[in-house]
Amino acid sequence: MANVGTKKLGQQGLCVSEQGLGCMGMSFLYGPPKPEQEMIDLIHYAVNRGVTFLDTSDMYGPETNEILLGKALKGIREKVQIATKFGITWANGEFGVSGDPAYVRAACEASLKRLDVDYIDLYYQHRVDTSVPIEATMGELKKLVEEGKIKYVGLSEASASTIRRAHAVHPITAVELEWSLWTRDSEAQIIPTCRELGIGIVTYSPLGRGFFASGAKLLESVTDYDYRKGSPRLQSENLEHNQALFQKLSEISSRKGCSPSQLALAWVQHQGNDVVPIPGTTKIKNLNDNIVSVSVHLSADDMKEIEAIFHVDAAAGGRSREEELQMSWMNSETPPYSTLH
């Protein structure tokens, strides 16, 4: 079995595996937390296969996913690139967002402790705080870079203008966003902006939160405690339409000699040398299947055929619940920095 290669992310020197591993589902959102030792074994297996770019967040658990990752990385810290995030708060049963400089520093210190590491390779603002100028948040992140506590800075779910303003304060190495066959809203402005500025692109949920692995059958394994149960695209009024899309994907993948999920992931990987997908999984078999997608070749004609089916507005239903979309790049404009002076 061939292992995963490496790729340069951004222009500041960060090198990561060309396919990463999203660790969220091991501890959070997709049903109950998975057995700790099994997840540690999975992470070790992934690293041995060359999947060394590991993505987590202080929000996953909350906090327990970082603790899990910290345990898994004992003795292999220098082999991996750790990406974690700050900015989503959880108190009294409600989500919030904070980009306050004092909070940024406190969150970083707490993540370093949970991960049990001296530095974080890539530190993202998970969601943009629209009450704090992005320049103020970035100013504190710049200090953390200068102190060696973080190596590189990233943004998640940020608009094109927010990315520009942030990048003017300190270079942004990567922008994390949802990009898949049925989520292509970033292509109009955000992707071109990243490329103009030399910013790497990290894509979460490249498999449509698992839909492109099994289509509507996904619902058979989704429990009441699984976030996806309430996903707009999996509701009855949208499911038939989206299942028809999956069926067309399956027909193409059959001709290509791969699975639908491998084809969907290969499509993301063919978007450019600046794109790194981070599919999540809790099973070694699925990890191996995802790695195979790196070697799936898609011609220009293949890409056109796929994109004719999965055009920008192809999917029925929103990519997230309405309250979550309010925290996405579509609502990430912050006050002008002049308001601080």
Whether 339 is in a domain gets the answer: no
Pairing state between β 275-277 and 6-9: unpaired
- Domain range holding 250? 6-332
Q: Tens-of-pLDDT digits for all 341 residues of the chain?
A: 778 999 999 999 999 999 999 999 999 887 789 999 999 999 999 999 999 999 999 999 999 999 999 999 999 999 999 999 999 988 777 788 999 999 999 999 999 999 999 999 999 999 999 999 999 999 999 999 999 999 999 999 999 999 999 999 999 999 999 999 999 999 999 999 999 999 999 999 999 988 899 887 887 777 777 777 778 888 889 989 999 999 999 999 999 999 999 999 999 999 999 999 999 999 999 999 999 999 999 999 999 999 999 999 999 888 765 556 556 666 678 888 875 54
Specify the number of domains making up the chain.
1
Whether 22 is in a domain gets the answer: yes
Catalytic residue chosen out of the listed positions 30, 45, 60, 119: 60
Whether 128 is in a domain gets the answer: yes
Whether 268 is in a domain gets the answer: yes
CA distance 202 to 206: 10
CA distance 278 to 290: 10
Instruction: Determine the pLDDT at residue 322.
Output: 52
- Return the CATH number at 65: 3.20.20.100
CA distance 229 to 5: 35
Phi/psi at 19 (5° precision): -135, 130
Whether 341 is in a domain gets the answer: no
Orientation angle between helical segments 236-256 and 300-309, nearest 10 degrees:
160
Whether 338 is in a domain gets the answer: no
Whether 337 is in a domain gets the answer: no
In the annotation, is 60 catalytic?
A: yes
Whether 216 is in a domain gets the answer: yes
Alpha carbon of residue 244 to chain centroid: 26
Instruction: Determine the pLDDT at residue 147.
Output: 98
Q: What is the pTM of this model?
A: 0.94
